[in-house]
Amino acid sequence: MRFTERVFCGQLTPDHLGKTVQLAGWVDAYRDHGGLLFIHLRDRSGIIQIVVSPDVAQEDVCLRAATLRAEYCVAVAGEVRKRVNGTENPNIDTGSIEVMVSDLKILSESEALPFAISDKAMVAGAASAGAEQVAEDLRLQYRYLDIRRPSMRDNLMARHRIFQCVREFLDSKGFVEVETPVLTMSTPEGARDYLVPSRVHPQNFYALPQSPQLFKQLLMIGGMERYFQLARCFRDEDLRPNRQPEFTQLDLEASFIDEEFLYELIEELTVRMFAVGGIALPRPFARMTHAEAMEKTGSDRPDLRFGLHFVDVTNVFSRTNYSIFRQILQRGGCIKGINIKGQSESLSKNVLQNEYAREIAPSFGAKGMTWMRAEGGKLESNIVQYFSDQELDELKQRFDVQDGDVLIMVADPSYAVVTSALGHLRLHLADRLGLIPENCFYPVWITDFPLFEATDAGGVTSSHHPFTAPDRVDFDPKNIEELLSLRSRAYDLVMNGEELGGGSIRINNRDVQRKIFAALGLTEEEMKEKFGFFLRAFDFGAPPHGGLALGMDRTVSMILQTPSIREVIAFPKNRSAGCPLTGAPSEVKREQLAELGLLNLGGEETLPGDSHRENIVDRLSWVSRIGISEAERPVMEKVLSQASELSALARQRAGDMTPIHSAVPVTNRLRPGTQENRSPLAQSGQLLKTAPSIKGDYFKVTAVLE
């Protein structure tokens, strides 16, 4: 068979009727009808039914076909025919045709599968073989099999199309794709770095990039003006369900622009990406300041697909007799609440008091929760008697209360506790009561973030990163109160409660950048050590610039509506940041650590237990780069022990005498039963093909004598 003439299974149509085609792929499923064999043949493009009949195929072809099992890799040739009326299969796109096999070749066999791969029933109305649930770690362990499943394949194909959409759109807007370094310098960007030790520079480290932030700004200073990259980024963060230690982000930066340019650009790009998945997004995207988002939803990534916006009722109770509220307000606290319209029947008194007030609200950080139900034109609860008629009437007016509504309120001396707890309650209630509409997408820009956040040590830290431009530059870097009042020229794109990405207008003035670093507590020496090269670039005409990064794994997952970003990544880590497929992360040999200078970073002293753990056979094997088998270990241990005894004896007898060195002729020392011979690869030059450095017929290696 000639693979150059191969046709993809999913591309066969009734236009191919009567034609002989060559196909290749995997056996998805099969049925044996007493000598007549029906097979679902699957490749990347889809599935086609092939039929092996003794009336068409020769005996040897039929015998080979009878040995087929699921996931055998085969190539076939045959004529495309129309299926008999009534046997069509609507489960597959090619369900009206089939291929009568005249030739078949088994390219590779398959062992028994750890889980079912097929998810297409062979007969209309039948259950699919792959409908069962499979543990995620098992899927990740055999990811190469999992990728064969049409659903996973379709996800990766859609991801490819979305990435192509990004590249084509940004190219049309004058953006240039530039790759930035993966081995770089560790800088404070918010999360922990993954460090890579350098062998050439002992006890020094590279860092894998959390983002290409510094390099893309340097590209702007370099005059590229418009840059983008689908960049691989790495962050050693605490584990969360929808987070990966390595991920892909669309990183872009542009010069001589402002926020409006980026809003327009990213909105158009986002609309196009979602259109690839058949989703039409409304434009323009809504905008909400950070303060407004916290005030109304308790989150800087608000889900706006439903209501339940907060209402501040602090001043309603300014003269209240309810002691709990009065004590909270005396301590400078606040009271906020939400109206759950028409849900009185779903939220009984028992649910509100015993579930939400006693268990759920405290689990979200609230010390308590107040609830009221509207019935017969009145508000009812277990504490309603403590409030005046004026307070109750004001509540009904503020919340626009009607019969069947339910009010919940949270009061606390801390504004942050109130908004956080009520924000979690808002999401919990919306999910429980089914208030979130399906197939609804609500994008919103969150703007005007605080530039700094307070730290427990009494200082400040950057809300985004230290390269974000402030809303004004006339600030005192030593005045903490003033620093906390600053707003940034930053913006996040949020959709359905998920942050898809964010960015900012950058600082392009050296003095302002130094003031930001000073506010963060960096000394002149630390600025020079960590960012000297970056600050130096600002001396050469840095243009005004800004940019944004979109998390592509998260964006693709939202477009395809998958339950996890792992469903749109070819080889993801699991929830514990491990790789069941390869076993990473894993231990490495102590010899590797020693070669990288990592065994004793704290000083020259021997670490406790080092001498006991050192194995001289392993050490010799590593230094010489020669593997030693288990059968050879006893012999090597005996020889090395004898060498150690002789060395000790020589030192003992030598005393203070100067050692005598003698040169002996170089000879080959071969293992018993082996003959020396010149490799044919040495004669052709292929033996040294991958050597880093060659001199004559030899390649250079690092020094192995210490």
Residue 456's pLDDT band, with cuts at 50, 70 and 90, is confident
Beta pairing, strands 286-289 & 311-312: unpaired
355 located within any domain: yes
Least confident span in 117-126, 284-293, 596-605: 596-605
Q: 166 Cβ partners below 8 Å, 6+ apart?
A: 228, 230, 250, 269, 273, 552
Beta pairing, strands 406-412 & 334-340: antiparallel
Least confident span in 108-117, 305-314, 582-591, 613-622: 613-622
Q: Which of 129-138, 188-197, 312-321, 610-619 has the highest mean pLDDT?
A: 312-321
Provide the 3-class DSSP secondary structure of residue 444. Answer: strand
170-192 mean pLDDT: 88
Least confident span in 174-188, 271-285, 654-668: 654-668
Q: pLDDT at residue 412 above 60?
A: yes
From residue 303, alpha-carbon distances to 25, 184, 446, 552 in Å are: 44, 36, 12, 19
Q: What is the pLDDT of residue 705?
A: 47
Residue 431's pLDDT band, with cuts at 50, 70 and 90, is very high
171-198 mean pLDDT: 89
- Asked whether residue 404 falls in the same domain as residue 499, the answer is no
Are 21 and 94 a contacting pair, CB within 8 Å?
no
Distance of CA 398 to the CA centre of its chain: 43
CATH number at residue 547: 3.30.930.10
520-544 mean pLDDT: 90
| Amino acid in position 86 | G
Structural domain count of the chain: 4
Q: What is the pLDDT of residue 604?
A: 54
156-180 mean pLDDT: 98
Instruction: Identify the DSSP state of 370.
Output: E
Q: Per the structure block, which two tokens stand in for 451?
A: 């530039």
Q: pLDDT at residue 104 above 60?
A: yes
Q: pLDDT at residue 706 above 50?
A: no
Q: What is the pLDDT of residue 667?
A: 72
CA dist., res. 540 & res. 695, Å (int): 43
Residue 663's pLDDT band, with cuts at 50, 70 and 90, is low
Q: What is the pLDDT of residue 658?
A: 64
Could you tell me which residues are beta bridge partners of residue 631?
Answer: none
Instruction: Identify the DSSP state of 573.
Output: -
388 located within any domain: yes
Q: What is the pLDDT of residue 661?
A: 62
Q: What is the pLDDT of residue 433?
A: 96
Q: pLDDT at residue 624 above 80?
A: no
- Asked whether residue 246 falls in the same domain as residue 151, the answer is yes
Beta pairing, strands 46-52 & 97-108: parallel
- Asked whether residue 201 falls in the same domain as residue 277, the answer is yes
666 located within any domain: no
Are 221 and 510 a contacting pair, CB within 8 Å?
no
Q: What is the pLDDT of residue 131?
A: 46
Question: What strands, in cross-sheet order, belong to the sheet with 226-234?
Answer: 176-177, 226-234, 246-255, 545-551, 498-505, 490-495, 443-447, 286-289
Residue 369 has phi, psi (to 5 degrees) of -150, 135
Q: 551 Cβ partners below 8 Å, 6+ apart?
A: 247, 248, 249, 499, 500, 501
Work out the widest C-alpha separation in the chain, in whole angstroms. 109
Could you tell me which residues are beta bridge partners of residue 26?
Answer: 42, 73
Q: What is the pLDDT of residue 626?
A: 80
Task: Evaluate if pTM is beyond 0.85.
Answer: no
Higher pLDDT, 26 or 34: 26
Please write the tens of the pLDDT for every residue from 121-164.
777 666 665 546 899 999 999 999 999 999 999 999 999 999 99
57 located within any domain: yes
Higher pLDDT, 397 or 664: 397
- Asked whether residue 81 falls in the same domain as residue 153, the answer is no
Q: pLDDT at residue 345 above 70?
A: yes
- Asked whether residue 349 falls in the same domain as residue 423, the answer is yes
- Asked whether residue 579 falls in the same domain as residue 592, the answer is no
Higher pLDDT, 53 or 650: 53
Percentage, residues of the chain above pLDDT 90: 72
667 located within any domain: no
Q: Token match 């004896």: residue?
A: 649
Are 166 and 269 a contacting pair, CB within 8 Å?
yes
- Asked whether residue 500 falls in the same domain as residue 555, the answer is yes
Phi-psi region of 241 (alpha: psi -120 to 50; beta: other; left: phi over 0): alpha
- Asked whether residue 188 falls in the same domain as residue 44, the answer is no
Least confident span in 97-101, 124-128, 228-232, 357-361: 124-128
551-564 mean pLDDT: 96
Please write the tens of the pLDDT for every residue from 70-99.
999 999 999 999 999 999 999 899 999 999
Q: What is the pLDDT of residue 628?
A: 84
CA dist., res. 296 & res. 304, Å (int): 10
Q: What is the dihedral of CA 190, 192, 197, 202, to 10 degrees?
A: 70
CA dist., res. 423 & res. 428, Å (int): 9
- Asked whether residue 593 falls in the same domain as residue 574, the answer is no
Kindly report the average pLDDT of the chain as a whole number.
90
CA dist., res. 317 & res. 388, Å (int): 10
- Asked whether residue 268 falls in the same domain as residue 337, the answer is no
CATH number at residue 65: 2.40.50.140
Residue 583: how many other CB atoms lie within 10 Å: 10
296-300 mean pLDDT: 95
CATH number at residue 350: 3.30.1360.30
- Asked whether residue 264 falls in the same domain as residue 322, the answer is no
Beta pairing, strands 370-375 & 378-380: antiparallel
607 located within any domain: no
Task: Evaluate the omega torsion of the peptide bond into residue 284 and state whether it is cis, within 30 degrees of 0.
Answer: yes
Q: pLDDT at residue 660 above 70?
A: no
What are the start-end ranges of the H helices in 19-97?
59-66
Q: 242 Cβ partners below 8 Å, 6+ apart?
A: 554, 557, 564, 565
The CA-based angle 308-277-239, given to 5 degrees, is 60
Q: 134 Cβ partners below 8 Å, 6+ apart?
A: 115, 116
28-41 mean pLDDT: 92
Could you tell me which residues are beta bridge partners of residue 501?
Answer: 493, 550
CA dist., res. 84 & res. 89, Å (int): 11
Q: What is the pLDDT of residue 133?
A: 81
Are 622 and 592 a contacting pair, CB within 8 Å?
yes
Are 98 and 48 a contacting pair, CB within 8 Å?
yes
Task: Evaluate the omega torsion of the peptide bond into residue 585 and state whether it is cis, within 30 degrees of 0.
Answer: yes
Report which of 456, 455, 366 is spatially closest to residue 411, judged by C-alpha positions: 366
DSSP for 129-154?
A: TT-S---HHHHHHTHHHHTTSHHHHH
Q: What is the pLDDT of residue 645?
A: 87
Tell me which residue range forms the domain holding 279: 135-287+492-508+543-585
Higher pLDDT, 354 or 120: 354
Q: pLDDT at residue 303 above 70?
A: yes
Buried b / exposed e over 132-158, threshold 16 CB at 10 Å, is: eeeebeebbbbbebbbbbbebbebeeb
374 located within any domain: yes
248 located within any domain: yes
Residue 442's pLDDT band, with cuts at 50, 70 and 90, is very high
Residue 695's pLDDT band, with cuts at 50, 70 and 90, is low
Could you tell me which residues are beta bridge partners of residue 380?
Answer: 373
Phi-psi region of 263 (alpha: psi -120 to 50; beta: other; left: phi over 0): alpha
- Asked whether residue 154 falls in the same domain as residue 273, the answer is yes
578-583 mean pLDDT: 94
Percentage, residues of the chain above pLDDT 70: 91
CA dist., res. 179 & res. 568, Å (int): 23
